[in-house]
Amino acid sequence: MAAKNWPKVVVFGDSISQFGFSDVGGWVSMLANRLQRRCDVINRGLSGYNSRWNRIALPKILSPQDWSDVVTFIIFLGANDSVVEQLNPAQHVPLDEYKDNLISMVASLENDFGLKKKQVVLVGPPACCEQKWGVAARERGVPMSKDNNITALYAKACEEAATLTKVTYVDLYSAMMKTQDFPKYLNDGLHLSQEGALLLDTELWKVLETKVGHLPFVLPEWRDIDPKNPRNSLK
């Protein structure tokens, strides 16, 4: 008997997603842990990418046969798009284009790859801490091009894109800004700390639980396997 294709949850984003399996900021690991035996969680985070580049890369991240098994597709972009243009023109994407790119990707998921709107989740960019990221930027020899007020505009644009396309939105920015001590959610002022990963995991699961939480285990529990005839149990 051929192997069964497991349902797939796909994460598509930038470095905050790419580092999502790391010891710090491992929110994708947390999601994969929640979905053990139910789904494969596929991480397609592309460090340094913005929505313009992700829009082009979208058709290249999965093989044609894999798209049919996707049950939820998470787009998490905006941290790079929202950098100050004068200080980082290579990664900056204007606000209106960022919003249009998100709308276009949602349309492509529906029209080109057969996903339904209820399967798509947009996550807005996280808040940033200019002071912490300024230290990290100096150490890396790059300009400090983040502004938390500008990031707020991109989070709002992501929400508007979700509303227009009728897909689910996770407002990570607002969740972080509910506390004055929001820098605790950031490892270096830009990427998530362990606390930030936990916060995103909590906010994301509020919407994912209804989408994938009901999926059954793939293959039976060990207690349900007949030790005298395991082959029959594992049909």
For residue 119, give Cα distances in angstroms to 163, 166, 208, 225. 14, 11, 9, 33
**Residue 33 predicted with pLDDT over 60:** yes
- pLDDT value, residue 3: 62
Mean pLDDT taken over the chain: 95
**8 A C-beta contact, residue 122 and residue 168:** yes
Give, rounded to a whole angstrom, the gap between the first and last alpha carbons of the chain: 8
**8 A C-beta contact, residue 190 and residue 146:** yes
Handedness of CA 64, 75, 13, 187 (dihedral sign): negative
Q: Is the pTM of this model over 0.85?
A: yes
104 is catalytic: no
- pLDDT value, residue 10: 98
**Residue 2 predicted with pLDDT over 80:** no
191 is catalytic: yes
The residues, any chain, with a CB within 8 Å of residue 230's CB and separated by 6 or more, are none
pLDDT in tens, 131-169: 999 999 999 888 899 999 999 999 999 999 999 999 999
**Residue 1 predicted with pLDDT over 70:** no
Spot the catalytic one: 15, 22, 104, 193.
15
Angle between helices 95-111 and 148-165 (to 10 degrees): 30
Spot the catalytic one: 17, 92, 191, 201.
191
**8 A C-beta contact, residue 46 and residue 77:** no
Q: Name all domains of the chain by residue range, CATH numbers in brackets.
A: 8-233 (3.40.50.1110)
Spot the catalytic one: 14, 17, 51, 188.
188
For residue 1, give Cα distances in angstroms to 8, 27, 114, 184, 221. 21, 35, 27, 50, 20
DSSP state of 9: E
